[in-house]
Structure 1
C-alpha cells in the first residue's frame, strides 16, 4: 500500500515519502503549509489512490474533541421520556457517533482527515492523544469500548495558526509542504489546465513569482490562487503578449484573484506610482 501521487494531484518525492512513512509507522501524518498548497486535497487523493473510504472531520473554533468520538443527546432522551417513547429504555438510541468512531468501525481501512486542527482550542489535540495512540475509546453511557478493527490512515492538517502541544507532535509524522518551485507549479497547472500555451504559462508564472517575492506583502498568493488567475486569463483569451505589455504596471490584470486584501493592492499601486515618477 504505497502512495505515489495521482493524475489529479502532483505529489513531490518528499511528500510521497512522508505519506508512506506515516502509513508504515501507523502514526498520524501532520501536514503543515501555506493555505492553498493542497493539504486537504492530499487526504482525498490518498484515499482515492489507495481505494479507501474517506472520512472527513472539519475542525472549527467551537469543535470539541469529544465530538469526534461521540455525543450523548440527553435533550432528545428527556423529550422522548415525556412523550412516553419506548426508545428511552435503550440509551444507545441517543448516542451520536463521531468521525473517529466511524473510522474505527469502518468495515475496511479508511482515511481519516482531521482538517485544520489548529483552529480549535489549544487543548483539543491533547484530548485526542489517547484515542489516536491506542485506537480505542470508552463510551461511558453504555459501558462499551470502541476499538478500531482496521487502523485508519490519519492525516491531520494545520495552517500554523497556533502551536500544537509537544506531546501531540511526538506522536505524529510531520511534513511541511513547501511552496512549489516553478517546474513543479507548471506540472500542477498542466493538471488543472491541460494544453495551456507554454509562452502564456511561462509569462504568467514569472509575473506570479515576482508578486510573491515582493517585500512587504501581507498575504502571498498561493497555488490555488494562481490556478484561479490562470483560469481567468484563459477565459479572457489573454496571451503572453498581453501580459508582457502589461508588465509596466505593478498591478497585474485580474489581480483580484491574486491579491486578497486592500493593503497589498495599495502596496502595488504605490509601487506603480513610484515607477511612473521615476520615468
Structure 2
C-alpha cells in the first residue's frame, strides 16, 4: 500500500497504534513496522506483555459466555481492535448462531480486516466510528439495523477505557452508553492498573505516551466511579484472571489489569 493510500484511508504510520501493537503482541499479522518496533520496546520493558494480552482475551471469552448464560443475545464491542481467533461473535454464536454482534473501532486497518472476516456473517458487523462519540455509534445505520436497544445488550470495553484520559471524562462517556441501554443490559470492562505492579508497568505506560494512544491506568476505586448507575456483579472489581476463572492463576496481579462486569437494573 502506498503512502498516498495510507493517508487516504486515515492510517498514520508516523506513530504506533494501540490496536496494531496489540495485534503484533498477540502474534497477528495486521501491523506495520512502526508498530512492531514499538511493541518490541514494550516487550523489553514488560516481558510478560504477551501473557497479559492472552489473559485479557481469555477474560473476554469468559465474559461473553457469562452474557450468553444471562440470556444476552446482543453485543456491542467498543474499541474491538483487530479480528482475532475467539472474537466475540465466535464465542457467542457457538452458543446461539442468531446472537448479534456489532464491533466498533476507528482504526482503519482493524475496520478493513474485520469487514473481511465478517463478510459472510449476517449476524455480525463492523462500524467505523470513534467510540468517544456515542451518538455516532448508537445512531449508526449498521448499529440500528443489527441491535434492538429496547432489549438487553452487553457492551464490551476490553482494554478500551484506559485510552481515555480523565481530561476527556470517561465517566460521561460510559454514562452515555448506559443511558441508551435497556434494563438488564451489562457492561464488561477491563483496564490497565498500577495496583500491585512493578516498575516495568510504569516504563511501558511512559512509552505509550509516544504512541497515538497514551494509557491511563486506574485503580479499582477509580473504575468503580466510572460505572456509576450500574450494579457490579460478583466477584466485583478484580485482577483479570480472577474474574470467574476457568482455572486459578498463580499470580493474578501479573495480568497488569483489572476487570469487572456490571448490570443496568
Q: Is the shorter-chain TM-score for this pair beyond 0.5, marking a shared fold? A: no
The structure carrying a bigger helix percent of its residues is 1
Q: Which has the larger radius of gyration?
A: 1
